[in-house]
Amino acid sequence: MRVLAALSGGVDSAVAAARAVDAGHDVVGVHMALSRTPAQQRTGSRGCCSIEDAGDARRAADVLGIPYYVWDMSERFERTVVADFLAEYAAGRTPNPCVRCNEHVKFAALLDKALALGFDAVCTGHYARVVAHDDGRRELHRAADAAKDQSYVLAVMGPERLARSLFPLGDAPSKSHVRAEAAARGLSVSAKPDSYDICFVADGDTQGFLRDRLGSQPGDVVDETGAVVGTHDGAYAYTVGQRRGLALGRPAPDGRPRYVLSVEPVQRRVVVGPAERLEVARVTADEAVWYGAVPAPGTACTVQVRAHGAPVAARVRAADDGTVTVDVAAGTGTGTDGGPAGTAGCGEGAGLRGVAAGQSLVLYDGTRVVGQGTVRATVSPAGLADARAHA
């Protein structure tokens, strides 16, 4: 096959490209330029936007003996990822820019251009497995290394794009194996630090980035009764489930920690309350993508709502309009979904907590990705009980 290997300048994509070469494919390396004004060097744990990264990508291509090109995707990236990131936060939702980048840039603009130029597939360093069946069906599965699994951020691409994607690292036992392989292959990026943060937020300070780009929009922090318990400089900087950084002047009357329950940017209001109010019994998502047949109503699956969350047992109902609803029975989950960083700790057997509109909902059957949607609304256990009582 003619394979376009996306080279970020990091170790994963370099080893993935090397494995594609080993597999006998005709491989061409492409580095996507995502910023019009790239920094000279990487700062901190930032990945894939600096001239240094482009140089590392070129060097990896040299070592592999494959042609190397830089494609300017900066305009597309700004429009579909950065602008979306800002608009979603401004609307009180919690976007995942890596999901959007996969949806609009990597497995859309890049893949489309590659196909138009005569390539058969795009290869990336993502950790996920593709299982191909004899009848041509291809399934997206979790990576062999659960700690590095990236099937969650890839699920948005859908089956047609999956059919054109190669993830050679899906069966890698661990990142350290990949680093060792890079070193053995003479790839100088073998010891390069991992990137964790959002690549376009230079110093990892997402709140500062939002403040710079969206400006100050001061308002009140209120409790569930509407009583003002603090102020904020912009509701967009808060995420449902967040506990840290609320800077509330006085403690709750019962002394228990408070969490962000909802973000209402139009009213410039952030509502806080106790942890149990974050529990979610039902999630509705839209723009559903399915791998294979749409599941029958009531089909059991596991769901995941954040990149590093644990799967939670649920039952799924898909509607004809592209929405999908999952019900999570409280206390019956297979584990805890972890919650966003610095948020409500989840007890054993807890279901979903602190789910915000905008997050990606991914449905699994074991390790297989069944489908994906974008969270639009959630219902609490009490709310679901009420709804059932009235049904």
Partner 1 sequence: MLPSAVDALTAALAHVGNPSSLHTAGRSARRTVEEARERLAASLGARPSEVVWTAGGTEADNLAVKGLFWARRTADPARRRLLVSAVEHHAVLDPAFWMAEHAGAELVLLPVDADGVVELEALREELEGHPDAAALVSVMWANNEVGAVQPVEEVVALAHRHGVPVHVDAVQAVGQVPVDLTASGVDALTVSGHKVGGPGSTGALLVRRGLDLTPVLHGGGQERGVRSGTLDAPLLASFAVAVEAAVADREEHAARVGTLRDDLVRRVLDAVPGAVLRGPADAARRLPANAHLTFAGCEGDSLLYLLDAAGVEASTGSACQAGVPRPSHVLLAMGVGEDDARGALRFSLGRTSTAADVDAVLDVLPGAVERARAAGLTSVGV
| 158 or 335: CB nearest partner 1 | 158
Integer Cα distance of 373 and 17 in angstroms: 30
Q: Does 268 bind partner 1 (CB under 8 A)?
A: no
Least CB distance to partner 1 at residue 134 (A): 31
Q: Does 116 bind partner 1 (CB under 8 A)?
A: yes
> Of the candidates 65, 118, 136, 249, which one interacts with partner 1 according to CB under 8 A?
118
Least CB distance to partner 1 at residue 64 (A): 16
Q: Does 1 bind partner 1 (CB under 8 A)?
A: no
Least CB distance to partner 1 at residue 4 (A): 10
* H helix intervals, the chain: 11-22, 51-64, 74-77, 83-90, 97-101, 111-116, 151-154, 159-162, 175-184, 206-214, 381-390
Integer Cα distance of 73 and 62 in angstroms: 22
Q: Does 43 bind partner 1 (CB under 8 A)?
A: no
Select from 113-121, 215-223, 320-328, 361-369 the region that touches partner 1 (CB under 8 A).
113-121
Least CB distance to partner 1 at residue 51 (A): 5
Q: Which of 98, 123, 199, 346 is catalytic?
A: 199
Least CB distance to partner 1 at residue 165 (A): 17
User: Contact letters (x/-) for partner 1, 77-106, by CB under 8 A?
Assistant: ---x-----------------------x--
At what angle are helices 206-214 and 83-90 packed, to 10 degrees? 90
* 229 Rama sector, left if φ>0, alpha if ψ -120 to 50, beta otherwise: alpha
Residue 25, C-beta contacts closer than 8 angstroms, at least 6 positions apart = 1, 2, 3, 123
Least CB distance to partner 1 at residue 190 (A): 22
Q: How many CA atoms lie within 13 A of 379 on its CB side?
A: 18
At what angle are helices 51-64 and 11-22 packed, to 10 degrees? 20
Tokens encoding 241: 């489930």
Q: Which of 339, 363, 368 is nearest to 351 (CA)?
A: 339
Q: Catalytic annotation on 199?
A: yes
| 123 or 128: CB nearest partner 1 | 123
Q: Which of 286, 328, 292 is nearest to 311 (CA)?
A: 328
Contacts with partner 1: how many residues (CB under 8 A)? 26
Integer Cα distance of 246 and 350 in angstroms: 24
Select from 68-76, 124-132, 194-202, 211-219 the region that touches partner 1 (CB under 8 A).
68-76
Q: Does 60 bind partner 1 (CB under 8 A)?
A: no
User: Contact letters (x/-) for partner 1, 6-35, by CB under 8 A?
Assistant: ----------------------x--x-x--
Q: Which amino acid is residue 359, in one-letter code?
A: Q
Tokens encoding 207: 């709140």
Could you list the residues that contact partner 1 (CB under 8 A)? Answer: 28, 31, 33, 36, 38, 51, 54-55, 58, 67, 69-72, 74, 76, 80, 104, 108-109, 112-113, 115-118
Q: Which residues are catalytic?
A: 101, 199
